Structure 1
Amino acid sequence: MARKHILHMLTPLAHMSPFDVNMALDAGFDAVVPYVGVGVGEVTGLVQDAIFSRPPDAGVDTGIFIGGKNVSLALDMFDAAKKAMVPPFQVSVFADPAGSFTTAAAMVAKVEKALEKKFERSLKDTRITIFGATGVVGFCTAVIAAKEGAKVTIAGHDGIERVKKVAEEIQARFKVNVNAADGSTDARKKALAEETQVILTTAKGGVQVISKVQLSAANGLLIAADVNAVPPAGIEGLAVNADGEPLETTKAVGIGPLSIGNVKYKVESGLFKRMIEADKTVTFDFQDAFSFAREIAK
């Protein structure tokens, strides 16, 4: 009798994301079990319950998924899960809080591909400004882009204080430099747009972040991309299915949320499938998601 593929899903929140549950089951897991309200201190016990309940050769058929809405907390839980292993008792671990790792990976991979195809350049030294970077997707996007050598600025819609703390957290944890800027007024957003080559908006759905007026002032802009599929668009005039087409009122090209979402979906589903199909246990974080997104992005 074939051994069941079981996924234990941990989140510090009151509910596990239905999105992630559906993705895991559709990817092929036989059973998905959510655990909510989980703190870092509880991860070891839960993981060890999972590893010791099956023989060592069943570790490859057992997975731990870490959700939530906080990048640093998810990575702390991810580290705790890996440290809880007692070889040869081990299981696979995949972290993707609020889909931020796979969404950010998809966004940066699509931007990287567009830079190569349209402008014959890489992420390195490209000036990127992220609006909505206090959220999980913006946070992770900033980390991935900065690790690839981009000159990243994160703009705060409510002033500089919160994004400054985010920039300091990124510097302390990931050892990359990210600049913080005040994006609280239309004039400040326009000034930031004038200085950047890539605009990324990762704000919550249904919020227009950048207007056509601000875009028209961005003479050096190469790419504008948005992850918000809920009207109105985060970037005015950007079609949801834009995939490198010219962006109205600019010399830049646009990448819409459906184009990014298509890659994000394939990355999350693909990583779940890799957990199931692996010959030995695997661990996936945002860097693994980005590597996979690079393979998929066109």
Structure 2
Amino acid sequence: MERPYILHMITPGKQMSPFDINMAADAGYQIIVPYCEADMKSVTALTQDAIFSRGPKGVARTGIFIGGRDALVAADMLEQSVKAMVPPFVVSVMADPSGSFTTAAAMVACVEAAAKKKRPDGLKGLRIVVLGGTGPVGRIAGVLAAQAGADVALSSRNGIDVAEEAAQQTGQRFGVTIHGISGGDRAAVRASIADADVILACAAAGVQVVSAEDLGHAKKLIVAADVNAVPPEGVAGVGVMDDAKPLAGTGAVGIGALAIGNVKYQTQHRLLVQMRDKPKSVLGFAEAFAMARAFLAESAGKTG
């Protein structure tokens, strides 16, 4: 009898995301087990229980998924799980807390593709402002953009101190330079986007962070992307279905939540399939970004 594919899903939160459970099932995992309210010590124990119980052949059909709501904690848990393994007992591991790794990867990949239509260097040298930048998607989007050569600022509606703390903490953790900028009021938002080439709107659902009047201050804008699918739109004029559509009243294009969401879905699905089909895979946001880029290149090839 062939051994089943088992996915152990670990989260520091009180529950595992039903979205991620559905995605795991659709990727071919047959037994999916959540472990909630886990800490770093739990990750070590759960990992070693998972690897030693199936033998070298069984571990090839075993995976570990790290969830939660904190991008930095999830990255630490991913590293801890890898460290806890003892060759040849090694399984595939993936982290995607609240979908932030795959969402951020999809968002930045879509923006990069749109920017390359206007300039060959993509994101390199561009000024990128991440509104709602202290949340998990905003932080990882900022890291990916910085790694791609952009000058990145994380904005917070709670003011400059919160923004700078998040930027310093995130940049130090992932080895990039990120700045903090205030988004505490309308004047601060307008000042922050005045010299922005790209706006990444990563704020809470149903919150408009950039109004039509605010956009008038973004004279250099090339691309505005928004992950908010709940009305009103996070960036005025960017519809959820927009896929590099000209943004009225500006020289920029807009990328909406569902356009990003399609790339996010394909990215997460393909990573979960890779976990299953390629034993010993270690998948974080860098791998998610590579997968999102590959999906967009594949899609462009089909329509080109």
TM tier, smaller: over 0.9
Structure 1 CA distance for aligned equivalents of residues 281 and 193 of structure 2: 41
Q: State the TM-score, normalizing by the size of structure 2.
A: 0.96
Structure 2 CA distance for aligned equivalents of residues 172 and 244 of structure 1: 32
Aligned equivalent of 1:213:
213
Opposite residue 287 of structure 1, the aligned amino acid is A
Q: How far 1:120 moved relative to its partner?
A: 3.4
Opposite residue 253 of structure 1, the aligned amino acid is V
For residues 223-262 of structure 1, the aligned pairs below 5 Å read: 223-262=223-262
Opposite residue 6 of structure 2, the aligned amino acid is I
Structure 1 gap segments, 5+ residues each: none
Q: Secondary structure at the match of 1:41?
A: helix
Q: State the TM-score, normalizing by the size of structure 1.
A: 0.98
Aligned equivalent of 2:113:
113
Q: How far 1:118 moved relative to its partner?
A: 3.3
Structure 2 CA distance for aligned equivalents of residues 59 and 141 of structure 1: 32
Aligned equivalent of 2:146:
146
- List per-residue Cα deviations over 1:94-137 (Å, max 9, x = no partner): 00000000000000000010011234331111110000011100
Kindly indicate whether the alpha-carbon contact (under 8 Å) linking 1:65 and 1:93 is maintained by their aligned counterparts in 2.
yes
Kindly indicate whether the alpha-carbon contact (under 8 Å) linking 2:168 and 2:179 is maintained by their aligned counterparts in 1.
no
Q: Secondary structure at the match of 2:117?
A: helix
Kindly indicate whether the alpha-carbon contact (under 8 Å) linking 2:72 and 2:170 is maintained by their aligned counterparts in 1.
no
Q: How far 1:175 moved relative to its partner?
A: 1.9
Opposite residue 286 of structure 2, the aligned amino acid is Q
Structure 2 CA distance for aligned equivalents of residues 218 and 72 of structure 1: 31
Structure 2 CA distance for aligned equivalents of residues 199 and 216 of structure 1: 13
Aligned equivalent of 2:274:
274
Structure 2 CA distance for aligned equivalents of residues 281 and 180 of structure 1: 37
Aligned equivalent of 1:286:
285
Q: Secondary structure at the match of 1:118?
A: coil
% same residue: 48
Are residues 1:125 and 2:125 paired? yes
- List per-residue Cα deviations over 1:188-245 (Å, max 9, x = no partner): 1112221100001001110000001111221110000000101111001111011111
Aligned equivalent of 1:42:
42
Structure 2 CA distance for aligned equivalents of residues 141 and 107 of structure 1: 7
Kindly indicate whether the alpha-carbon contact (under 8 Å) linking 2:207 and 2:232 is maintained by their aligned counterparts in 1.
yes
| Superposed structure 1 runs of 4+ greater than 6 Å apart | none
Kindly indicate whether the alpha-carbon contact (under 8 Å) linking 2:143 and 2:171 is maintained by their aligned counterparts in 1.
no
Opposite residue 236 of structure 1, the aligned amino acid is A
For residues 1-298 of structure 1, the aligned pairs below 5 Å read: 1-278=1-278, 280-297=279-296, 298=300
Q: Secondary structure at the match of 1:184?
A: coil
Q: Secondary structure at the match of 2:194?
A: helix
Structure 2 gap segments, 5+ residues each: none
Q: Secondary structure at the match of 2:228?
A: coil
Q: How far 1:42 moved relative to its partner?
A: 1.1
- List per-residue Cα deviations over 1:142-178 (Å, max 9, x = no partner): 1111111100011111111211111111222122111
Structure 2 CA distance for aligned equivalents of residues 166 and 158 of structure 1: 11
Kindly indicate whether the alpha-carbon contact (under 8 Å) linking 2:101 and 2:137 is maintained by their aligned counterparts in 1.
yes
Kindly indicate whether the alpha-carbon contact (under 8 Å) linking 1:60 and 1:275 is maintained by their aligned counterparts in 2.
no
Structure 2 CA distance for aligned equivalents of residues 166 and 262 of structure 1: 28
Kindly indicate whether the alpha-carbon contact (under 8 Å) linking 1:123 and 1:148 is maintained by their aligned counterparts in 2.
yes
Q: Secondary structure at the match of 2:123?
A: coil
Q: How far 1:2 moved relative to its partner?
A: 2.0
Structure 2 CA distance for aligned equivalents of residues 162 and 15 of structure 1: 28
- List per-residue Cα deviations over 1:236-265 (Å, max 9, x = no partner): 111101111100111100000111000000
Q: Secondary structure at the match of 1:9?
A: strand
Kindly indicate whether the alpha-carbon contact (under 8 Å) linking 2:190 and 2:214 is maintained by their aligned counterparts in 1.
yes
Kindly indicate whether the alpha-carbon contact (under 8 Å) linking 1:152 and 1:178 is maintained by their aligned counterparts in 2.
yes
- List per-residue Cα deviations over 1:263-282 (Å, max 9, x = no partner): 0000001101111112x321
Kindly indicate whether the alpha-carbon contact (under 8 Å) linking 1:69 and 1:136 is maintained by their aligned counterparts in 2.
yes
Structure 2 CA distance for aligned equivalents of residues 218 and 71 of structure 1: 29
Structure 2 CA distance for aligned equivalents of residues 157 and 11 of structure 1: 28
